[in-house]
Structure 1
């Protein structure tokens, strides 16, 4: 059996082959807006794999430079660590005694460990950095190397995402749990996104809309944190290439402090 010019010959009899169906031509192409929404839906927890291509790529990160007096030499837990850039810089530039980065995205944790491998191969002192994969907003007690008591807990550019994907109650409970694991005199570092930023995220990722409509708490959550026993000790506004964010430093009072 052989074919020629769309006609099949079988036992010396010509048989016309069926017309080829162009399946792709029958599927309408997605618009750039539709593709963008699919991308955001796939990263609805803020777990963008390219986050540090559109955030500052400075080394060390400018936020950590501003935080130096709070993080230098301390045992630090980095919640929502993405691919570990800041987590590793806490060790390489700020002599953190121990650093653990936590993220719920397995791919990002794998990327963080790869970044650590490269850093070690270059002679950087990052042996005291580890990474854990779990949903820290809904896991208690924290597991693995993230367990225990910490001098500093960081929530940089992540509170919006855990708030939008969960609820007011989950956020309040998280602040309560963090108060338990921060050592007396230790710090909680927040980078809360403002409410218009929430709205923009929902427009890009419509599946967050139902949760969004139920939220009553508003950033920067000052009253919630004060009611939870935290004391605000510092903070500043930042404008980093269009990322207009504040950084707020909260302290768990040392025993006996008012």
Structure 2
């Protein structure tokens, strides 16, 4: 057994597998992609406000009049706030869970200051716009909510061959608390492919905003057999991401922002910026 394999086995040895057929959707693998439908309920439990937004606000200049992609947008809290308060030219939220995307689209009314009637009209407009073939990066509007849309889909490409079709179209790409789930589902290869796709989709001078979970957080008590097996195979650990993104993916330099404040230690994660020259 080599050192890398031994390291993984030690870190994953206390994982337990849920083999039983349970009615609870979470324990039956419903959230194998980290697609918790009440994620923000406990993520923002302290005061209802996401502290990551306060950190990103310090670099608001990165968002003004820019085309943004939010990978793993969940029900759209961060996506909507960036669209409304950070003067984005456009922002597209993508998530693998179609139910979360449907909820995100309906959540528009909660981010509008207009009357309930106008909010309903805006909701209808954003649904029609999202279903159209024209994505938000082609929009010239700075006005919320015309600058926001959502897309159901898996950002992880099927194979490396598809990377050659990617073109630069975003100024900023966010990946907040998502890498763990990409890692557990598609392993090192899937995560590396995702990093390469992000780099390919960023315009010159673009910024990749990463909030990675620690490897300690991978060790959930209820993982499916697939995720547990994938965990044993991991060799690219989160503490290696920065060096890998700079030396292997091609980012020019990185910048560390503040660690997100939270009463739960598991959510106290650093946010890093990676710049494409």
TM-score of the alignment, normalized to the shorter chain, above 0.5: yes
Structure with larger Rg: 1
- Aligned pairs for 1:219-258 (under 5 A) are 219-220=238-239, 221-226=241-246, 227-230=248-251, 231-242=253-264, 243-253=267-277
Counterpart Cα distance in 2 of 1:154 and 1:166: 19
Change (3 A) 1:36 1:240: farther
State the TM-score, normalized to the length of structure 2. 0.70
CA contact (8 A) 2:55 2:260 kept: no
Instruction: Select the residue among 95, 100, 109 that pairs with 2:101.
Output: 109
Bigger proportion of residues as helix: 2
Please give the secondary structure, in 1, of the residue aligned with 2:171.
strand
Counterpart Cα distance in 2 of 1:147 and 1:114: 30
Give CA deviations for 1:170-207 in whole Å, capped at 9, x if unaligned: 111111111111111110001111111111x2x22243
Runs of 4+ in 1 over 2 A off after TM superposition: 34-40, 57-62, 70-74, 117-125, 138-141, 233-239
In the TM superposition, what is the alpha-carbon distance from 1:105 to its structure 2 partner?
0.3
CA contact (8 A) 2:32 2:223 kept: yes
Counterpart Cα distance in 1 of 2:83 and 2:150: 13
Counterpart Cα distance in 1 of 2:28 and 2:83: 31
Counterpart Cα distance in 1 of 2:156 and 2:269: 22
In the TM superposition, what is the alpha-carbon distance from 1:153 to its structure 2 partner?
0.1
CA contact (8 A) 2:157 2:193 kept: no
Unaligned ranges ≥5, structure 1: 1-33, 254-258
Counterpart Cα distance in 2 of 1:118 and 1:52: 14
| C-alpha RMSD of matched pairs (Å) | 2.7
- Indicate yes or no: 2:38 matched with 1:50: yes
Q: Which moved more, 1:169-178 or 1:227-236?
A: 227-236
Counterpart Cα distance in 1 of 2:255 and 2:26: 40
Please give the secondary structure, in 2, of the residue aligned with 1:160.
helix
Counterpart Cα distance in 2 of 1:77 and 1:102: 8
State the TM-score, normalized to the length of structure 1. 0.75
Q: Which has the higher contact order (CA 8 A, sep 6+)?
A: 2
In the TM superposition, what is the alpha-carbon distance from 1:119 to its structure 2 partner?
3.5
Bigger proportion of residues as strand: 1
Counterpart Cα distance in 2 of 1:35 and 1:197: 25
CA contact (8 A) 1:172 1:224 kept: no
Counterpart Cα distance in 1 of 2:23 and 2:274: 39
Instruction: Select the residue among 195, 202, 219 that pairs with 2:215.
Output: 195
